Structure 1
Amino acid sequence: MKLHREGYLIITIGLIILIAIQVLNYYLWTIIGYWWLYALLTLGVIVMAYLIIQFFRVPKITYVEKTNEIICPADGKVVVIEEVEETEYFKDKRIQISIFMSPLNVHANFNPISGLMKYAKYHKGLFLVAWHPKSSTDNERTTFVIEHEGGKEVLFRQIAGAVARRICYYVQPGDKVKAAEEFGFIKFGSRIDLLLPLDTKIDVKIGDVVKGRITKIGELK
């Protein structure tokens, strides 16, 4: 496991603040004998430090690519599987699979397939809760399209939530990308949407807890 580079500054600032709180905690409560309160607040500081650090963790996972396989782009829970009208790029019907990421999930994002990055566009927007039906079209988001070697295209979106305030991505149109390679990061709670061809074989269902680079979402035909 490693810590993501997007977390270096936040972790450093967070730990400095928590250390200052802990020093103040010591002098406020131990001097007057409230050891139980000092212990309780110390536990709270440790928990906060853990939560900040674990948010930016990136587990080491080796992915062996399989032909036409769509691999999960993020840790989280499948909250939507439905046929929708995609209006930004394809302008036709697609199967939408939405994965909600809580603040406890790994928030690095990974390419679902290998191929040519045909499209990458950032959109300013709102910060509705990530499971809101309109978050896919109204929230701050970034849309990507990869053309697979077989010619089919897969669209996926990073979507900010009510807490997420920064979407980071590291790819541009024209890049050749590999499945399971990192393409971005979303800070503090969010959602990833996949828009797939209608004939895609789907291997997940609503409510499934999925893992980035591990769970097979489906297969292109």
Structure 2
Amino acid sequence: MAGEILDNRGRGDAHWRLPPVHPEGRKFALIAAAASLVTALLAWETLAWPLAFLTIGILAFFRDPERVVPQGDDLIVSPADGLVSLIAEVEPPKELTIDDGSGTRGLSSGPVTRISIFMSAFDVHINRAPIGGTVKRLVYIPGKFMNADLDKASEDNERQHLLIERPDGLLIGFTQIAGLVARRIVPFVKPGDLVASGQRIGLIRFGSRVDVYLPAGTAARVVLGQTVVAGETVLAEAGTQQLIEGVSQ
């Protein structure tokens, strides 16, 4: 049940269930299902079966499972499901650092660790807040639709920057990036909204990427090639730097 507290001593109630489908995807599934039904009634089986499988694929793509969000003052959780495809020291995007005239401070300039998470068409595409706080910026940038796995996609592709400020002033910036197939970034929040860590903040349709910019002096707690889960995997602990190694098996 959403909002239920679970812990490592057995508190709470957990059981398997089919994940619900997000409302954003239901209209596409209904269209595909209706087309499949019509073609079946017309005995056009060569079209009816592919459309039926397309309906199932759409329902799977827009699945929206519940997540158990780890609680901790300095924990930064993954905003996306997918593969950690890049970890690099970079300058944050200017949209997250410049004075935008709103009176809201942005990220400080200077290299920080960026974690890039690539979402394939098979991953859950609901994105979640990496920390709890207030949404300070939401900046949409039109662009290209190159492979989101490429480093230059951070600067060339269609994208949306978000900035969240914790009550103690810690700022986390992250960017939703459209990919080859993804053609729309759908926000669920707006500037001024209060969000909890792990709360749903938007989705990207059909394959994409999310970049997270860690605070200065913070190292990743995930490794390159690791699969992460939105709202559950801890990407970093603010102010903590530690070498973490993994072995591919």
Alignment pair present for 1:11 and 2:17: no
Alignment pair present for 1:145 and 2:151: no
Are 2:75 and 2:237, in contact at CA under 8 Å, matched by a contact in 1?
yes
How much identity, in percent, do the aligned residues show?
Answer: 37
2:83 is matched with which residue: 70, 77, 83? 77
Equivalent residue for 1:200?
218
Deviation string, structure 1 residues 100-135 (Cα, Å, up to 9, x no partner): 111111111100001121211111111111112211
Alignment pair present for 1:87 and 2:105: no
Alignment pair present for 1:164 and 2:170: no
Q: Identify the structure with the greater helix proportion.
A: 1
Equivalent residue for 1:34?
none
User: By how many angstroms is 1:62 displaced?
Assistant: 3.2
Q: 1:3 aligns to what SS in structure 2?
A: coil
Distance 1:210 1:176 in 2: 24
Aligned AA (1:209) = T
Alignment pair present for 1:210 and 2:216: no
Q: 1:83 aligns to what SS in structure 2?
A: strand
Are 1:140 and 1:159, in contact at CA under 8 Å, matched by a contact in 2?
yes
1:108 is matched with which residue: 118, 126, 131? 126
1:109 and 1:46, CA in 2 relative to 1: closer, same or farther beyond 3 A? same
Distance 1:122 1:181 in 2: 20
Are 1:22 and 1:45, in contact at CA under 8 Å, matched by a contact in 2?
no
In structure 1, runs of 5+ residues without a counterpart are 30-37
Aligned AA (2:87) = I
Equivalent residue for 1:32?
none
User: By how many angstroms is 1:218 displaced?
Assistant: 0.8
Distance 1:107 1:28 in 2: 32
Aligned AA (1:103) = A
TM-score (norm 1): 0.87
Are 2:146 and 2:157, in contact at CA under 8 Å, matched by a contact in 1?
yes
Q: Which has the higher contact order (CA 8 A, sep 6+)?
A: 1
Equivalent residue for 2:6?
none
Are 2:113 and 2:220, in contact at CA under 8 Å, matched by a contact in 1?
no
In structure 2, runs of 5+ residues without a counterpart are 1-18, 98-108, 240-249
Alignment pair present for 1:179 and 2:206: no
User: By how many angstroms is 1:63 displaced?
Assistant: 2.2
Aligned pairs for 1:127-146 within 5 A = 127-146=145-164
Distance 1:28 1:60 in 2: 38
User: By how many angstroms is 1:47 displaced?
Assistant: 3.3
Paired residue total: 209
Whichever of the two has the greater Rg, that structure is: 1
